[in-house]
DNA sequence: CGTTGATGAGAAAACGTTTTCACGACAGAA
DNA sequence: TTCTGTCGTGAAAACGTTTTCTCATCAACG
């Protein structure tokens, strides 16, 4: 009881215990542990040894409180159940972990009010930056971030806000690229299975880009059948049915996600509709499953991991460099496989 | 400059600002905001109004420091790139978020030393509980958790440590169930494509369970061909080749993951090997892709989301109840689809 | 030899909460 | 009336760091 020093068994040695054992002040111990160079060689070694001996683990809350740097980043994504988001977070986390920054994750389920709540919680936790998906967010969310001076990054989009960054791609260009690809194959009757566009600028962008490219090529966008569906195989299947079960079905269908495309192809199999013989199908995302369907899926590649990596780079960049990184538009490649082909010659 | 109160524009109103505006002490303001009932109705309302007006967001670091409760949980998984883990985390996060608890995520890439490092970081951040995958962890990791009194939960396993909890299933039983299923179909020549078993008690358990069930049924486990592969489609494909490209190939192959099984089936397609005509294939996980292969995949269902949910329940449970929840073994269902069938009649 | 500047170290304040303690008011019991 | 107990409130300590001062010491310089 004589000594106030808690042993390694005590549940938690504190900085002052390290200092005592190293025979120096807490200030010096702190400097050593934070790599501050203004400290002598012998002190440094004594402190390091003491810290190791006590199994010292700093208290992050105290550190964050005093230094106002939490080394915490928040990420709010719609769901982890979709590989496209999980992979982005994986890339984000991997890059940040290298620099000792941790990621708090939360899911919004495409609900902007929930997103606001999650944002508030992340700000409360001291997140220094927050990664968001897309560019559509509630005004309150944005003003909260603004007010609390929390840096933020939009992903999966290239449209940047006044502040913050956008690391992603242009969904409209992507939709247009899909249209162009199918038109160049000679298709005249096109359709689209889009993701739910409500509060989802990515799904909306792909749809808009697709339709305006068709318009630019002289087709009437109003005549193009469009069905929206949640990102589930089954909704892709049903959407395909409503698209195909008409007198003059489309000869090419662009899907806002590989999941939807997979469902669409599944429906074709069931109905004996030849892909790409009767109908070409284009997906979006280039998930692992795109290589598993038969025929293998033509799709647009989304650089999910790369967005995560680049978001991390932006977050870690010194303030001076941020302005050069804040708007990063990644190219979208089209991966041509076997689910697309030339338009069938007029059958009807 | 007269007032010390920072407006909502100031970047951050503090508790004392709220108190001033509400004309009370910080102590009272704190009590109100934490739902402490011992405070008058009128005070309560004044504080709530003041907090709302200032857009007050508490400082989590200060709160955690003083109260020693961070409301933070850590999760260390091998990778987010595998749906089985991403879904578990999704389930975990969803349940915890309901109670205002945040999840810090980090990935170990199946490396126990990396895991130790991540653990240290999570402890430093003040994580009150840590969710781990499997039951194989470095001694240092376990002693660190023990020493710092951090509660922990193993998942994807049913083997519990001295302390902490295990929420999962018995991988050996699962492997045995797969063996039994195939044996009952009349198969005599079995093979297995396992995940990498190094440092992976789940992969090892499935393999062990599979082999010992075969032994129990009179087959020689040493004669059963086993190939290990990383959880990639391509390694499943290659593994299947080395299994099938022999004089007397197995008539049934158990794969430690649907990903591997998918690769196996892909190889069979390429080689014109009939599934399940010539060889039956069983997967593991019941991923979404199990319904997308042709034939659709027979597989063992892993309750990933449920494990996440139950881990959250355990973490949130009051200490008194924890002992009843700490060992939860979930049943493993076998989902019979079309990739399995009776053993072919002797051909050779 | 006195002055200056750089260097290494410690004392103490500060970060923004929560919590303990103490106190006054007020109600009910004696 | 006086005592006892409950209730609502505030003052101040405490949480474990980092950071700002301040102060020696010592080398270099004029």
Whether residue B140 lies within 8 A of chain A, CB to CB, comes out as: no
Find and list the nucleotides of strand D having atoms within 7 Å of a protein beta carbon.
7-12, 14-20
Tell whether the model's pLDDT for residue B102 goes beyond 70. Answer: yes
Across A219-246, average pLDDT: 96
Q: How far is the CA of A36 from the C1' of D29 (A)?
A: 29
* Helices A201-216 and A171-184: angle between axes, nearest 10 degrees: 40
A6 at B interface, C-beta within 8 A:
no
Annotate B223-256 with DSSP letters as a single string: GS-EEEE-SSHHHHHHHHHHHHSSSS--SEEEES
In angstroms, rounded to a whole number, what is the distance separating the alpha carbons of residues A200 and A111? 10
Record: contact B107-A89, CB cut-off 8 A:
no
Give the tokens for residue B283. 């997967």
Which one is predicted more confidently, A171 or A9? A171
The pTM of the full predicted model, rounded to 2 decimals, is 0.94
Average pLDDT, chain A: 94
Ramachandran quadrant class, B298 (left: phi over 0; alpha: psi -120 to 50; beta: rest): beta
Provide, in whole angstroms, the distance separating residue B312's CA from nucleotide D9's C1': 38
Q: What is the mean pLDDT of residues B196-209?
A: 96
Cβ neighbour number for residue A9 with a 10 Å cutoff: 9
pLDDT tens-place string over residues A52-77: 999 999 999 999 999 999 999 999 99
The phi, psi pair for A260, rounded to 5°, reads: -65, -45
Q: Which residue is nearest to nucleotide C16 (CA to C1')?
A: B62
Tens digits of residue pLDDT in B274-323: 999 999 999 999 999 999 888 999 999 999 999 999 999 999 999 999 99
Residue of chain A with shortest Cα separation from B100: A121
Q: Could you tell me if A83 lies within 8 Å of chain B, comparing CB atoms?
A: yes
CA A247, A251, A254, A260 torsion-angle sign? positive
| Neighbour count for residue B215 (Cβ, 10 Å) | 14
Q: Which residue among B11, B94, B292 sits closest to A262, beta carbon to beta carbon?
A: B292
B131: which strand partners? B75, B153
Domains assigned to chain B = 70-169+305-316 (3.40.50.2300), 171-301 (3.40.50.2300)
CA A229 to chain centre: 20
Q: Of all protein residues, which has its CA closest to the C1' atom of D6?
A: B38
B193 vs A4, more confident = B193
Question: Looking at chain A from residue 232 to 271, which residues have their Cβ under 8 Å from any Cβ of chain B?
Answer: 233, 259, 262, 266, 269
Once rounded to an integer, what is the mean pLDDT over residues A117-145? 97
Per-residue pLDDT, averaged over A270-298, amounts to 95
The closest nt to B66, taking CA to C1', is D15
pLDDT band of residue A11 (cuts 50, 70, 90) is low
Q: What is the pLDDT of residues B123-176, one digit of tens each?
A: 999 999 999 999 999 999 999 999 999 999 999 999 999 999 999 999 999 999
Measure CA to C1' and name the residue nearest C8.
A39
Q: How far apart are CA A279 and CA A252, in angstroms?
A: 5
The label of the residue with tokens 């260390």 reads: B76
pLDDT band for A330, please (50, 70, 90 cuts).
Answer: very high
Indicate the angle between helix axes B112-124 and B139-147, nearest 10 degrees.
Answer: 10
**Burial grade of B41 (CB within 10 A; 0-12, 13-18, 19 or more):** exposed
Q: Cβ(A311)–Cβ(A155) under 8 Å?
A: yes
Give the pLDDT confidence of B10-46 residue by residue, as tens digits.
Answer: 458 999 999 999 999 999 999 999 999 889 999 999 9
Residue that the structure tokens 């033509």 belong to: A298
| Chain B residues lying within 8 Å of A9, measured CB to CB | 147
**Cis peptide bond prior to B130, omega within 30° of 0:** no
pLDDT at site A294: 87
Question: Residue B79 above 80 pLDDT?
Answer: yes
Contacts with A, B 196-225, CB within 8 Å:
none
On chain B, the residues whose CB falls within 8 A of the CB of A269 are 294
pLDDT tens sequence across B231-276: 999 999 999 999 999 999 999 999 999 999 999 999 999 999 999 9
- For CA atoms B118, B119, B125, B130, the dihedral sign is positive
CB contact under 8 A, A61 and B70: yes
Interface contact flag, A80 B70, Cβ < 8 Å: no
The answer, yes or no, to whether residue B191 has pLDDT greater than 70, is yes
pLDDT band per the 50, 70, 90 thresholds, residue B2: very low
Average pLDDT rounded to a whole number, residues B69-76: 97
């Amino acid at each position: 009881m004589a000594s106030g020093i808690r042993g390694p068994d005590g549940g938690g040695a504190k900085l002052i215990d390290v200092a005592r054992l190293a025979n120096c002040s807490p200030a010096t111990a702190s400097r050593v542990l934070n790599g501050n160079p203004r400290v002598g060689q012998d002190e440094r070694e004594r402190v390091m040894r003491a810290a190791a001996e006590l199994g010292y683990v700093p208290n992050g809350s105290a550190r964050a409180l005093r230094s106002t740097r939490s080394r915490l980043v928040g990420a709010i994504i719609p769901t982890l159940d979709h590989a496209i988001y999980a992979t982005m977070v994986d890339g984000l986390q991997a890059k940040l972990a290298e620099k000792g920054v941790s990621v708090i994750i939360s899911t919004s389920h495409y609900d902007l009010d929930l997103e606001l709540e999650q944002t508030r919680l992340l700000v409360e936790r001291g997140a220094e930056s927050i990664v968001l998906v897309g560019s559509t967010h509630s005004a309150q969310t944005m003003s909260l971030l603004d007010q609390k001076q929390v840096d933020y990054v939009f992903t999966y989009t290239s449209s940047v806000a006044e502040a913050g960054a956008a690391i992603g791609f242009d969904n409209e260009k992507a939709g247009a690229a899909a249209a162009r690809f199918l038109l160049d194959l000679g298709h005249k009757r096109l359709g689209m299975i889009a993701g739910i566009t409500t509060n989802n600028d990515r799904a909306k962008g792909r749809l808009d880009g697709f339709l305006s490219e068709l318009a630019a090529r002289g087709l009437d966008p109003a005549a193009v059948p469009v069905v929206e569906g949640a990102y589930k195989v089954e909704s892709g299947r049903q959407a395909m049915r409503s698209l195909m079960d008409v007198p003059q079905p489309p000869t090419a269908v662009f899907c806002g996600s590989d999941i939807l495309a997979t469902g669409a192809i599944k429906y074709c199999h069931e109905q004996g509709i030849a892909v790409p013989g009767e109908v070409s199908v284009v997906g979006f995302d280039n998930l692992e499953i795109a290589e598993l369907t038969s025929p293998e899926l033509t799709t647009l590649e989304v650089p999910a991991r790369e967005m995560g990596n680049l978001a991390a780079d932006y977050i870690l960049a010194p303030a001076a460099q941020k302005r050069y990184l804040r708007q990063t538009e990644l190219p979208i490649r089209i991966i041509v496989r076997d689910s697309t082909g030339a338009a069938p010659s007029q059958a009807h």
